[in-house]
Structure 1
Amino acid sequence: MSARIAELLRRQTTTLALVVVAGVAVLAIQSGGEFLAPISVTTFFEFLAIPIVIGLAQMATLAVGQMNLAVGSIGGFAACLAGVLAADLGLPGWLAGLAAVLVGLVAGVLNGVIVVLTQINGFVVTLATMTILAGAQYALVGTRTITSASWAGLQSLGDLRPLGIPLIFWFAVVLAVALSAAYRHLLPAREMLASGGNPLAATLSGISNSRALITAHGLSGLLCGIAALLVMVSLPGVNKSIGGDWLLASFAAPIIGGVSLTGGSVAVLGTVLAATIVRLVDSARAAFQLDPSWVNLVIGAVVLGTVALDRFRSRAPRAAAPTTTGPVPRRPVVEGAAS
């Protein structure tokens, strides 16, 4: 029994869960209990949904050893395009929201195709995509803000509060559970992990690394499109600033959550918990009246420390391992929503 408890305490998700509990306790004490008031809880979860989804979007590309720097630009462009379709062309709100999701999917697939065709690392490809889509987003809306009155029916979903928690948060949780199940049981998802863990071994096993890369980028883009849909549901309007602050949060959630930068692993529960911690840090900034730049400083330092620790842990066993005559295939690692 004691060994099982010790193993549980060593898990990163356990540590993250304890940090979440401690953070909530500190903010509750600091606010005299106001942080746990219904309106505060509702606001907290409402603004947690999008960080969870964009964290999962980044996790999808990290799983194959890639990065998606265009997370914010894809989501921002998709949201603004949907807003223009609804406001200027009179498209129904639900159809404009569906268009945002499809735009995200197409942008992600194009990223993957370009990576495969050019053999250029996804870091460079998505950096270019980020710049292009940021310009396109500004070209669409300029300096104006398109209000949610143009998609009032869709936006009304943001007012729903099942069990006192915003519907968009429940949607993000369901999405996380579905992704966890997919990475555990669906063949395409397992192939992405195998390709990210050891491309050579995956090729020898009959897995197409090209298909895995395109699928991973497509999934990432799809999730960015879903994040754009949540923006339309939860915010009073869209403008050129949508998605501008997503990039750091998208990396922080999966990396702090336990996803390796070298690929071959996912940590859905860890990503959700880490996104919650990032949201708690932002809440602490407001509660203690700190400069907003301190939030980025703290999150950036934690991400850097996590990456350094991950590298240290990955190198330590190799130093003690016996010399082998060839590469040892890495086993895909899946940390699901229930682990």
Structure 2
Amino acid sequence: MLHLSRLSRADWFGPLLATILAILLIQSFSASFLSAYNIEILLLAIAVNALVAYSQMVIIAIGQMNLSVGAIGGLAAISFAGVMEVWGLPAPLALLLALAIGALAGAVNGILIRITGISAFVITLATLSIFKGINLGITEAQPFYGIPESVKSFGASILFGPVPLLVLPTAIVTLLLWLMLRRLPMGRFILAVGSNEHAAALSGISVGTTVVAAHAISGLLAALAGVLVVARLQIGQPSIGDDWLILSFAAPVIGGAILAGGHVSTMATLLGVVIVAIITQALVLFSIDPFLVQVVLGAMILAAVGLNRLRARTPLKGSH
């Protein structure tokens, strides 16, 4: 009984229970919900959305927010597609360039926040506009169609059964993030800065370096998400990333992240992504108006924040 009580307090327990209940409920109304085709569609959405959520989660961990997640992902995506079409760059080099652009854009956010002392909200709101403007300047609002067959093949390939190959990079990133937050010094520094920036500085942690590193990691993850979207769509759309912002907050918050910082959970955030994907897919299956997806996401964020505030009465710092 004591073990079960401790288990129920884990960040991932609630989202896991909600995921199982949602699957059982939707399956009872629609027998096709767990068909191979639907599972593949769900996993494709999860593969991209998990990276978007992780990109925000890392910033929430330091007690900040990144409104430019989608703009960075979109800029990396069109850079990835553009250099392959215009310059004929091989896909691996284009990937490295796109990831470097994402990490650099994220680092710029972190540097500006530390140098100016202006809140992350204001800085990333400004860079959102800048990065999106660069995106539109490069593309002139037109897609890049010259995606190599190797990239198209990667985006369309199946790993096994209904599991798409796009899931593999996300699975690797999930494991690496979990290890970073639980085992590596950088993960501990990020959580310490989020818990108490002043105490972290007194204990010898370089707060400035940690903030810049967190934003660089965030930009890198957003860029990888953008690249996966290009591979999935087989086209470099200037609009990639435009609708990521709400999702990027929804999944970590559903996963128990404390917006003030210092406490996030990789596994619970992943389950938050799964819950959002399941609800979105259910609305499609039942032919419900798409605008309700945004309504449901907003309601879920409010509910999750409310539950987190109740749990904060017995706070548990750290990550799982």
TM range (shorter): over 0.9
What is the CA distance between 1:332 and its match in structure 2?
4.5
Query: 1:62 and 1:245 mapped to 2: Cα distance?
Result: 19
Whether the 8 Å CA contact 2:23–2:278 is kept in 1: the answer is yes
Partner of residue 3, structure 1 = 2
Partner of residue 88, structure 1 = 86
Whether the 8 Å CA contact 1:74–1:221 is kept in 2: the answer is yes
The within-5 A match list for 1:96-245 is 96-147=94-145, 149-164=146-161, 165-245=163-243
Query: 1:59 and 1:76 mapped to 2: Cα distance?
Result: 18
The within-5 A match list for 1:248-267 is 248-267=246-265
Pick closer, same or farther for the CA change 1:39–1:309 going to 2, 3 Å: closer
What is the CA distance between 1:23 and its match in structure 2?
1.8
What SS does the aligned partner of 2:12 have?
A: helix
Root mean square deviation of aligned Cα: 1.6
Q: Extract unaligned runs of 5+ from structure 1.
A: 318-329
Partner of residue 333, structure 1 = 318
Query: 2:284 and 2:104 mapped to 1: Cα distance?
Result: 37
Greater Cα shift, 44-53 or 301-310: 301-310
Q: Select the structure of larger CA radius of gyration.
A: 1
The within-5 A match list for 1:281-320 is 281-314=279-312, 316=313
Query: 2:152 and 2:273 mapped to 1: Cα distance?
Result: 24
What SS does the aligned partner of 1:162 have?
A: strand
Pick closer, same or farther for the CA change 1:35–1:309 going to 2, 3 Å: closer
Whether the 8 Å CA contact 1:109–1:214 is kept in 2: the answer is yes
Whether the 8 Å CA contact 2:154–2:165 is kept in 1: the answer is yes
Query: 1:170 and 1:54 mapped to 2: Cα distance?
Result: 15
What is the CA distance between 1:118 and its match in structure 2?
0.3
Whether the 8 Å CA contact 1:85–1:96 is kept in 2: the answer is yes
What is the CA distance between 1:96 and its match in structure 2?
1.5
Q: Deviations over 1:234-284 (max 9, x none)?
A: 112122211011111100011110111011112000000000011111101
Whether the 8 Å CA contact 1:197–1:331 is kept in 2: the answer is no
What is the CA distance between 1:7 and its match in structure 2?
2.5
Residue type at the aligned position of 1:15: G
Whether the 8 Å CA contact 1:94–1:154 is kept in 2: the answer is no
Query: 1:281 and 1:201 mapped to 2: Cα distance?
Result: 41
Partner of residue 16, structure 1 = 15
Partner of residue 75, structure 1 = 73
Percent of residue pairs bearing the same amino acid type: 34
Residue type at the aligned position of 2:286: F
What SS does the aligned partner of 2:166 have?
A: helix
What is the CA distance between 1:294 and its match in structure 2?
1.0
What SS does the aligned partner of 2:198 have?
A: helix
Query: 1:252 and 1:107 mapped to 2: Cα distance?
Result: 23
Whether the 8 Å CA contact 1:67–1:123 is kept in 2: the answer is yes
Could you state the TM-score of these two structures normalised by the residue count of structure 2? 0.95
Query: 2:140 and 2:277 mapped to 1: Cα distance?
Result: 29
Q: Deviations over 1:165-206 (max 9, x none)?
A: 111113212211111111111112211111110111111111
Whether the 8 Å CA contact 1:101–1:228 is kept in 2: the answer is no
Q: Deviations over 1:64-106 (max 9, x none)?
A: 0010000000000110122111111211222212211111000
Q: Extract unaligned runs of 5+ from structure 2.
A: none
What SS does the aligned partner of 1:238 have?
A: coil
Runs (4 or more) in structure 1 with deviation over 4 Å come to: none
